[in-house]
Structure 1
Amino acid sequence: MSLQNASIKVSEFIITGFDTTKNPVQLGVFILISYIVAVLASIVNIFVIIYKKKLHKPMYLLICNLAAVDLLYSSSVSPTIIGVLIAGVKTISYVPCLIQMFTFHLAEIMETFALSVMAFDRLIAVSCPFQYHSYLTNARIIVLTYVLWIVACAFVAVVPATVIPLPHCYTVLKYNFCSYAAVIRTTCVDPNYYFNLVASIVFFLSFSTFGFICLSYVGIIYFVKLSSNNEKKKIGSTCLSHLIVVTCYYLPLFIITILTRFGVVLTLGVRNGLNIGTILIPSLVNPFVYCLRTREIKNEIVIIFKKFRHLIRF
């Protein structure tokens, strides 16, 4: 009897990625705290940028978009992971699983797009400081952001389009949430074709966006050499924030998606840890990097906090 003939109707999946985890509750509490801090920090950044009209500038709109992406990224899977580790809820229904899979990979792609546009923004700011506001207006940034979200949705549409028609032979997810790889492994077909299909898309998007970021910094370095010492410090400060964010996102991504395609074997525990790190670390680091290293945002947060504390006293 073929696997297709042995297919079953799946109403829910069982998540087993944490079955061998020692001290799951402690890990769950750590992830819960990290998730809450990441969400609150992103919300604060978004609120401050929207609330203060003087921050309605291209760079801050891009930071606001990155914060929104981080919210989607962390919220797509963190509640499921926390539920498994703390509450022991190891099942997820079929439709919510597909929704989680779509939102997770959408945020994954949008993270690369957001970082690429921010690199381009820094390049224009350094190379054409006097024409910057004529080249990058608020309207153009908003339109560009909408276009990138639409393009990302088009790429991610491949994920449910290839999964939904396939018959399922298993209900167990070996990973810790509903990713494309986890769901494909529950189907009755040879997963290699689908893994290669998605790997080619990930390879293209990862290297094209990372290559674009690298080229942007080559241009930035060239123009920095022509700048004065004071300008070099200012440029270095603004670019360092972006470089920290880029490193936090791309490093674990390349380990998971690239090295494994070249024969590097990762244990399930290591893969799950890298997956969690890829999601939580950028979402946790990004808002604090831009909050603490961007003077305008930091100053506005301090002002709002002082006003709030003053109101509480009265």
Structure 2
Amino acid sequence: MEASVEKLFGPERLEDAALRFGLQGDPKKLGDFENYIYEMQTAEGISVILRLTHSSHRSLEEIEAELDFLQHLEAEGCGKDMASSLASPSGSRIEQIMAADGSCFYACLFRKAPGGRAVPDSEAWNRQLFAEWGAVTARFHNASAKLDRTFARRQWSEDDLIANASAYLQDEDPGIIAQLASVLDRLHALPRPEGSYGLLHGDIHNGNFFVHEGRITVFDFDDLEYSWYIHDVAIPLYYALSSRIPDRYGADRDAYAADFFLGFLQGYRSEREMPEEWLDVLGLFLEMRDLTLYTVLAKKLGPEELTEGIRAWMGQMKERIMAGTPIVSFDFRELAAARR
């Protein structure tokens, strides 16, 4: 979390939010990168997730749109695929907690997803999981395509990490900004035929869902935005390859990437069509993720917070960015056709 926001947050803000939602027990902190996330209990002893978002990160209208989209997903039959929001005893979905400088934190409550996180080499990390991952993503896209109104969420190019990237990268190699401009030019040139572009989660990696009895429950829709649906295919593949390769693949990273992609695509196509021409630009979206992830780390972390591991990670990203290569280079259309 940015130091300026950290100064405004304190135990009293959390206590106020917990009181308004009628929560009990000792808060278990789960995260504080872009939002403050805690696990707490209701008066009935049910574990729930409390999220506090500073107004510098999201507006009230944006958060209302996020919660409206969750309701839409439920109405379209995706209730078991995502963690829904819960209202406070007063009936409010969002409670506003004022800060000392006149800004505020928006508090929301969510159902806790059943199960736990799936990680490489765990029993749950298999081809069946990859297919379920793809199927859930496709069901979200099917629901998104049925929206009959515009939600107050940003277009992909309006995201802070893109619109203000030059400011966050001003101390970095100028070549990174030049590479960002090149990738953005290619993205802006992409067409938007019907069924290819809409409101999407934008960040369905394995840190944003739990697995229980083979089923995925997705949470954290904070990055909800308008973009091409293929973006939601690129993100899982990107993060799968950013973490360690499962032992069963040895050092064969390409074999792992192919298995993951094909499993995910199989699941996706079981619920929704994936035109082959969009597989041709999957690499472009992988390149974009390197750039946005590098930018958010440059924005959020000061020099004293850059551990050796994070420096090495950013170094790998920078090398790919400067070379203009994605995290994995496949002819995805050819790979998909060969396995059909």
TM-score (norm 1): 0.28
Bigger Rg, structure 1 or 2: 1
- Per chain length, whose mean CA-contact separation is higher, i.e. which structure has more relative contact order (CA < 8 Å, sep 6+)? 1
- Which structure has more helix as a fraction of its residues? 1
TM-score (norm 2): 0.26
